[in-house]
Amino acid sequence: MRVVQQPERDQFDLAAVLYALSDPTRLELVRRLAQDGERACGTFDVCATKATLSHHFKVLREAGLIHTRAEGVYRFISLRRRDLDARFPGLLKAVLKAAGAPGR
Amino acid sequence: MRVVQQPERDQFDLAAVLYALSDPTRLELVRRLAQDGERACGTFDVCATKATLSHHFKVLREAGLIHTRAEGVYRFISLRRRDLDARFPGLLKAVLKAAGAPGR
DNA sequence: CCAGTTGTTTGAAATTTATCAAACAATGCA
DNA sequence: TGCATTGTTTGATAAATTTCAAACAACTGG
């Protein structure tokens, strides 16, 4: 069985989190996740191939920003809000606000 | 006279700000600026040559994070706290807190 | 078992980035 | 004027990143 690369909340690295958020596409993905909640990979209508999307989700996952749940053929992705807030209080909220997302 | 590349606060780009902050060295520079206030370039004892430091300051400056004031041979650098807070409320504070800086 | 769907991984190309040494510019001091 | 100091710019190199197509893997329905 494959182990998903996903750090514990204690091991989040601030620079890695900021880096993951610093790409416009990834920032948009996070914004949508915050807005609409858990979604399957394919439901983000972003202008990129599935390979590119998969890459971006990997970056977000390894930074600790998202969690992936497998269900059948789908991968449902969600924001790790609780863990992020615990480790970096106020950070996600400020970023989402700055990104133009509606409040929590 | 040379125009300093430094965006108006209205033109700050979130992704660029997050990117500038996503490098460990730059994050440390910002942390010290927040802690100690305005400083000359040479007074940051970071492990990098002056050319590399100059590069990092350029990235921070172009993202709108810092302001540079020339005085004699020195360049005094300061955080653009007011502008950042106006444009991205809570962001800098959350980042500094996450980076282990003392509160404002 | 086969075919279709969803997503990941691999390989490759183009771009960007970090880093340093060396040359350069600007300032101030003697 | 000559020289030391501070910082920027340039040129080069190594490493990382983004992106896509193609191959692959896993699951579902028939």
B26-64 pLDDT, tens digit per residue, is 999 999 999 999 999 999 989 999 999 999 999 999 999
B4-23 pLDDT, tens digit per residue, is 668 988 899 999 999 999 99
CA B103 to chain centre: 17
A19-37 pLDDT, tens digit per residue, is 999 999 999 999 999 999 9
B93 to chain A, any CB pair closer than 8 A? The answer is: yes
pTM (2 d.p.): 0.93
pLDDT band, residue A102 (cuts 50/70/90) = low
* pLDDT computed for residue B70 by the predictor: 94
Mean local confidence (pLDDT), A71-90 = 97
C-alpha distances in Å from residue B79, one per residue of A7, A35, A76, A81, B54: 31, 32, 40, 29, 16
Q: How far is A104 from chain B (nearest CA, A)?
A: 15
- Rounded to whole angstroms, the distance from the CA of residue A16 to the C1' of nucleotide C26 is 38
Average pLDDT of chain B is 92
Kindly report the bases of strand C lying within 7 A of a protein C-beta atom.
4-11, 17-23, 26-28
Footprint of strand D on the protein (CB under 7 A): A 19, 23, 25, 47-52, 55-56, 59, 70, 72-73; B 2, 40-42, 50-51, 53-55, 57-58, 68, 73-75
- Which CATH architecture fits B12-98? Orthogonal Bundle (1.10)
CA dihedral defined by A42, A48, A54, A56, rounded to 10 degrees? -120
Q: How far is B71 from chain A (nearest CA, A)?
A: 32
pLDDT band, residue A101 (cuts 50/70/90) = low
pLDDT band, residue A2 (cuts 50/70/90) = very low
Q: Could you tell me if A14 and B98 are in contact, meaning their C-beta atoms sit under 8 angstroms apart?
A: yes
Average pLDDT of chain A is 92
User: From the alpha carbon of B42, which nucleotide's C1' atom is closest?
Assistant: D6
A34-62 pLDDT, tens digit per residue, is 999 999 999 998 999 999 999 999 999 99
What tokens does A99 get?
């990104």
Domain ranges, ordered by start, for chain B: 12-98
